[in-house]
Amino acid sequence: VFLKNTEGSPIRRIGYQRWRRNLAVALGNGPADEAVFTALHAALPSAEPMVAEHISWALASLTARQQGENRKTKLLIRCIEKGLPDHA
């Protein structure tokens, strides 16, 4: 399927595993969306070691970002509730 869908594309040169690795990195740098978490978790069990390493990185990166956003949101809520200026 990969070869058929990438016919005539430069993506074909990097191969299927590197393409999957690049997708994991792109998803890890994107928004911490539940659908992204689901897709990454689903891909992890069958991933080659190189791809699995990048999927794990992406999941960790998204989790850290999500936790950071939650902390900022909680700080903003506290500031609003107390009537204090925002220093986030």
Residues 27-38: what's their mean pLDDT? 94
Q: In this structure, are residues 7 and 13 in contact, taking their beta carbons and an 8 Å threshold?
A: no
The owner of tokens 């850290």 is: 64
Please give the Cα distance from 20 to 52 (Å, whole number): 10
Burial of 55 (0-12, 13-18, 19+ CB in 10 A): buried
Per the structure block, which two tokens stand in for 54?
A: 């990048």
5: left (phi over 0), alpha (psi -120 to 50) or beta: alpha
- Which one has a higher pLDDT value, 32 or 83? 32
Which of 38-47, 53-62, 72-81 shows the lowest per-residue confidence on average (mean pLDDT)?
A: 72-81
Mean pLDDT throughout 58-65? 94
Overall average pLDDT of the 4-18 stretch? 93
- Whole-model pTM? 0.77
Structure confidence at residue 73 (pLDDT): 84
